[in-house]
Amino acid sequence: MKYIGIDIGGMSVKCGVVDADGRLYFKKAAPIQATAEDSAILKDIAVLVDDVLKESGTDKADVCGIGIGCPGSVYDETGTVRYSCNINFRNTPIVKMMCELTGVDNVRVSNDANCAALGETLFGAGNGAKNSVLVTLGTGVGTGIVVDGRLLTGNRSAGAEGGHIGINLGGATCGCGKRGHYEAYASATALMKQVEAACAKYPESGLAKYANENGIDGKTVFICAKNGDKTAIATLKRYIKYVGTGLVTFANLFFPEVIIIGGGISNAGDDIVKPLQRYVSRNIYGAQYNPKIKVVAATLKNDAGIIGAAALCMKND
- The answer to whether 256 contacts a copy of itself (rule: CB under 8 A) is yes
Q: What CA dihedral angle connects 296, 299, 257 and 251, to 10 degrees?
A: 60
Backbone CA torsion sign across 215, 219, 225, 228: negative
Give residues with Cβ within 8 angstroms of 296, minimum separation 6. 125, 258, 259, 260, 261, 273
Measure the CA–CA gap between 306 and 7, rounded to whole angstroms.
5
- The answer to whether 252 contacts a copy of itself (rule: CB under 8 A) is yes
Whose Cβ is closer to a copy of itself: residue 3's or residue 185's? 185
Asked if 243 and 297 touch (Cβ cutoff 8 Å), the reply is no
- The answer to whether 169 contacts a copy of itself (rule: CB under 8 A) is yes
Q: Which of 142, 162, 206, 263 binds a copy of itself (CB under 8 A)?
A: 162
Fill in the DSSP letter of residue 167.
-
Closest CA to 308 of 52, 87, 97, 125: 125
Q: Residue 299 half-sphere exposure, CB side, CA atoms within 13 Å?
A: 11
Q: Which of 115, 167, 243, 314 binds a copy of itself (CB under 8 A)?
A: 167
Q: Which of 44, 50, 76, 161 binds a copy of itself (CB under 8 A)?
A: 161
Give residues with Cβ within 8 angstroms of 18, minimum separation 6. 2, 3, 4, 5, 24, 25, 306, 307, 310, 311
CB of 50 to a copy of itself, least distance (A): 34
Write out the binding residues for a copy of itself, residues 54-73 only, by CB under 8 A: 73
- The answer to whether 158 contacts a copy of itself (rule: CB under 8 A) is yes
Asked if 236 and 230 touch (Cβ cutoff 8 Å), the reply is no
Whose Cβ is closer to a copy of itself: residue 64's or residue 165's? 165
Write out the binding residues for a copy of itself, residues 279-298 only, by CB under 8 A: 283, 285-286, 289-291, 293
- The answer to whether 257 contacts a copy of itself (rule: CB under 8 A) is yes
Element (H, E) at 220: helix 220-226
Closest CA to 115 of 146, 84, 140: 146
Measure the CA–CA gap between 25 and 15, rounded to whole angstroms.
11
* Binding window for a copy of itself (CB under 8 A); candidates: 34-42, 92-100, 154-162, 264-272: 154-162
* Binding window for a copy of itself (CB under 8 A); candidates: 164-172, 190-198, 269-277, 299-307: 164-172
Whose Cβ is closer to a copy of itself: residue 16's or residue 79's? 79
- The answer to whether 164 contacts a copy of itself (rule: CB under 8 A) is yes
Write out the binding residues for a copy of itself, residues 86-145 only, by CB under 8 A: 130-131, 143, 145
Number of chain residues interacting with a copy of itself (CB under 8 A): 51
Which residues are paired to 141 by β-bridges?
Answer: 137
Q: Which residues bind a copy of itself (CB under 8 A)?
A: 73, 82-83, 130-131, 143, 145, 147-148, 150, 152-162, 164-169, 171, 176, 178, 180, 241-242, 245-246, 248-249, 251-257, 283, 285-286, 289-291, 293
